[in-house]
Amino acid sequence: MRVLMFLLFFLTLITQVSAETSETSAKVSLYVKNDPPVITSISLSPEAIYRDSIVRCTVAYVDELKENRVFYEWEVNGIYAGSQEAIDLESAGAKAGDSVECLAIAFDGAYNSTPASASSSVVQNSAASGFTKTVLGALGADVSLESLERQQGLGSITGFAVNEIAGSEQAKSSLGLLGLSMLAVMLLAVLSV
């Protein structure tokens, strides 16, 4: 009986030690869902596009990841013309009346956004350049150049005519050698334009 009691005591002791040292483990996996980026706006600049313009495609998008890239595809009249953020229409061979389109896709390293596009037509061959208006027969003209920015790229020369043939001594003397040489210079300037 002593042996039996000892065995019982020993088994009870082993059971208690086993129960105290046993561990239960569980595994929990969390997956963070990555939504694809969403393009919120796309636009072309400048607003007025000429055949020699450099046109930029501006894309705004929303995404929780930081490693985003935007892929661009340019088309002129439906024909592939480039894959950068901006395109030089003169290099692309665009003409007045052509259609220009930018297709953009945002990529976050795992997913692409839904493609978005913006398009415009080439307004005309080129932007208006500055011009000069010469007032002939205006010896002693009052000349003022206006700012090109204020006139949106247009410059002008304004003047007033002196009554050269009115008979006054001042008007007659202004037709001297100096007056004629100035008239010749002005005439050459007009003819060279």
- Using alpha carbons, list the distances in angstroms from residue 53 to 24, 80, 95, 118, 122: 70, 17, 11, 16, 9
Q: What is the pLDDT of residue 64?
A: 87
In a domain, 6, yes or no: no
What digits encode the pLDDT tens for the residues 39-86?
999 999 998 899 899 999 999 999 988 778 999 999 999 999 999 999
Q: pTM of the predicted model, to two decimals?
A: 0.51
Rounded Cα–Cα distance for residues 64 and 112 (Å): 13
Q: What confidence score (pLDDT) does residue 124 get?
A: 76
- Last residue of some domain: 105, 121, 137? 121
The confidence score (pLDDT) of residue 72 equals 98
Q: Which domain holds residue 176?
A: 128-193
Domain count within the chain: 2
Is 93 contained in some domain?
yes
Q: Which helix (H) or strand (E) holds 44?
A: strand 38-45
Q: Is the pLDDT of residue 96 over 50?
A: yes
Domain check: are 111 and 138 in the same one? no
Residue 77 belongs to a domain with what CATH number? Answer: 2.60.40.10
153, 115: one domain: no
* Same-domain pairing of 157 and 178: yes
Q: pLDDT grade, residue 91 (50/70/90)? A: very high
Regarding whether 168 and 113 lie in a shared domain, the answer is no
Residue 97 to residues 36, 49, 54, 80: CA-CA distances in angstroms?
36, 10, 16, 17
